[in-house]
Structure 1
Amino acid sequence: MTSSIFSQLVLPLSLFIIMFGMGLSLERQDFARVVKYPKAVTIGLLGQMVLLPAVGFLIAGWLLAAPALAVGLVLLAACPGGTTSNLIAYHARGDLALSVTLTAITSVLTIITIPIIVGLALATFKDTSVPIELPVTRMMLTLFLITLLPIGLGMLVRGWRTPFAQRLEPKISAFGAIFLGLLIVIIMYEQGDSLLGQLVSAGPSALLLNIAMMIIGFLLAVWFNLNDRQRASITVEVGVQNSTLAILIASSVLNDGTIALPAAMYSLAMYLTGGSFIVWRRWQTRQQLAAGV
């Protein structure tokens, strides 16, 4: 991004606050649920940590000729779920405990996996005649400071002052939604004259990634005979990622606003598909109740 103050200070600080808010919604039991729901958690992790990046690479290679956009789409696919996925899972009558558990675990794992996957994307899509320098140490430190640290602090506050945490968390979630909207506007503005062409390139690929992974997540859950609420959560967790984190890495660590564009487009797409999924799930639930299921 053009403004170093925004990309190096405002954006990281805002994401720190957002992830702190996510920590306020978590408890230690959320990490221990892997023992209680081993099959469901394993399937969710398979979808998020393995299939999602693989599909991201396939779509990027198929639809995105611009290397920066291709790297941006893979970066997005490498990111964990976030508070948005938990919110959609809740309103879609999913298994909220499973959704939160997957978000918590992937937020920890991606500190290691994001640098690896982004490094592969840079080696695959960027101009090989130009030396590739991925700041791995800086990226891992950044991920720790804006994901694991604030989540841990939020969990400490929840354990120390639970009523306060429960009152504060919705306010931070609202801030996160407003900030994401502002972030999308800034990214689009900075693209200038090239915005329309970039939108035509990045928009369909971001939407396809979102829809394809929601379908894959749902089919995985059906294939392994998970219950109805678990299917809903797996669908959302595999299909909805933390686009704000992808934007921060692109602008603050990789210093390339174009890489952030797929995540900005994805942010719009996930509310459309997530909202549609909520409507469908509520209709399905009413039908099941009417049928006495």
Structure 2
Amino acid sequence: MNPSHDLDAVALNFSPNDLLLLNLALALIMYGVALDLRVEDFKYLIKNPKAFFLGVFAQFLLLPALTLLLVYIMRPPASVSLGMFLVAACPGGNVSNFLSNLAKGNTALSVSLTGFSTIGSIFLTPINFALWAGFYSPTRELLREISLDISEVFLTVSLILGIPLVLGILTRNFYPQLADRAKKILQPLSILIFAAFVVVAFMGNLDIFLEYISVIFLWVLAHNAVALSAGFFTGFFGKLPFPDIKTLSIETGIQNSGLGLVLIFTYFDGLGGMAIITALWGIWHLISGMALALSLKNIK
């Protein structure tokens, strides 16, 4: 029997203390991201609207739509499909700015898009997730069984992303020297904390991951390739400069899987298919994003 059929019934072991640690780690990551945000970054968007709107289009509309198409083609289990819709609804990941800079992309555009998508995700992530998951009958039925209250998701995303972002932006704009010192410590530290958390979560559920990872990885590989391609070809057909194309590809292909995991363990009781594909995405997109950045850095 295909082991993927059992994924909908699998739940990962995850304690309330683990969830609290994950929430704190994600809040710290978001605060560190916001320490790089200046008012000038949002003025940049006004001066360069084409690249900005194409980035928003690729992130919040094209990627979820292509995810729906991919789900119809690959037909993964309902819980895995739900995880794919959730990943597609999340904002850009916190390492996208570093990777965009490494690729010699448009770093100012990357920072601006990350800031906007993270702030916008307070509203757009719950709406996009419910909307696109509702278009596919297996995930629609699963959501109905779980009785997910979208208003509670709004509240959780607001607390985890909104408050740290506001505090980080205020720190950057009123205490710039403190922000410069803090980000040198917090940004690498928060990423290490999150990486350590993912490793601990893997080890605590090692038997489950080993059983399903060979099946799940193909879905992650395909989904991430679609995400990176969505950003790249949006910029290409939008006739953007190549540094902007690099940035759109990375911004669309690097998703905030940490937020996805928080929502999964808060509202879906660690539903196996959702949790495994989201956690594995969080690892793989760093590898694929780094490979893409290094391969594009010398192309102008």
- Shift in alpha-carbon separation, 1:71–1:17, aligned structure 2, 3 A: same
| Residues 133-154 of structure 1, C-alpha deviations (whole Å, 9 max, x = no match) | 1121221111111112111100
Give the aligned partner of residue 263 of structure 1.
278
| Residues 160-211 of structure 1, C-alpha deviations (whole Å, 9 max, x = no match) | 2112211211322212321232232233334453323421232121222222
Amino acid in the other structure paired with 2:282: S
Question: CA contact under 8 A between 2:60 and 2:128: conserved in structure 1?
Answer: no
1:65 aligns with 2:65: no
The 4+ residue runs of structure 1 with deviation greater than 6 A are none
Amino acid in the other structure paired with 2:65: A
1:231 aligns with 2:245: yes
Amino acid in the other structure paired with 1:269: W
Give the aligned partner of residue 18 of structure 2.
6
Q: Distance in 2 between matches of 1:75 and 1:175?
A: 26
Question: CA contact under 8 A between 2:228 and 2:250: conserved in structure 1?
Answer: yes
1:107 aligns with 2:112: no
Q: Aligned pair count?
A: 284
Question: CA contact under 8 A between 1:64 and 1:202: conserved in structure 2?
Answer: no
- Shift in alpha-carbon separation, 1:190–1:63, aligned structure 2, 3 A: farther
Q: Distance in 2 between matches of 1:23 and 1:34?
A: 16
Give the aligned partner of residue 96 of structure 1.
107
1:38 aligns with 2:42: no
| Residues 106-128 of structure 1, C-alpha deviations (whole Å, 9 max, x = no match) | 11222222222332426733483
Secondary structure of the structure 2 residue equivalent to 1:283: coil
Q: Distance in 2 between matches of 1:267 and 1:127?
A: 24
TM-score by length of 1: 0.89
Q: Distance in 2 between matches of 1:135 and 1:5?
A: 23
1:125 aligns with 2:138: yes
- Shift in alpha-carbon separation, 1:127–1:146, aligned structure 2, 3 A: closer
Secondary structure of the structure 2 residue equivalent to 1:235: helix
Task: Tell me how far 1:267 sits from its aligned partner.
Answer: 1.8
Q: Distance in 2 between matches of 1:24 and 1:257?
A: 33
Q: Distance in 2 between matches of 1:64 and 1:221?
A: 29
Q: Matched residues, percent identical?
A: 27
Structure 1, unpaired ranges of 5+:
286-293
Question: CA contact under 8 A between 1:82 and 1:241: conserved in structure 2?
Answer: yes
Q: Distance in 2 between matches of 1:165 and 1:209?
A: 36
Secondary structure of the structure 2 residue equivalent to 1:226: coil
Map of 1:201-212 to 2, 5 A cutoff? 201-212=215-226
TM-score by length of 2: 0.87
Q: Distance in 1 between matches of 2:148 and 2:204?
A: 23
Give the aligned partner of residue 287 of structure 2.
272
Give the aligned partner of residue 291 of structure 1.
none
- Shift in alpha-carbon separation, 1:124–1:173, aligned structure 2, 3 A: farther
- Shift in alpha-carbon separation, 1:11–1:279, aligned structure 2, 3 A: same
Question: CA contact under 8 A between 2:63 and 2:230: conserved in structure 1?
Answer: no
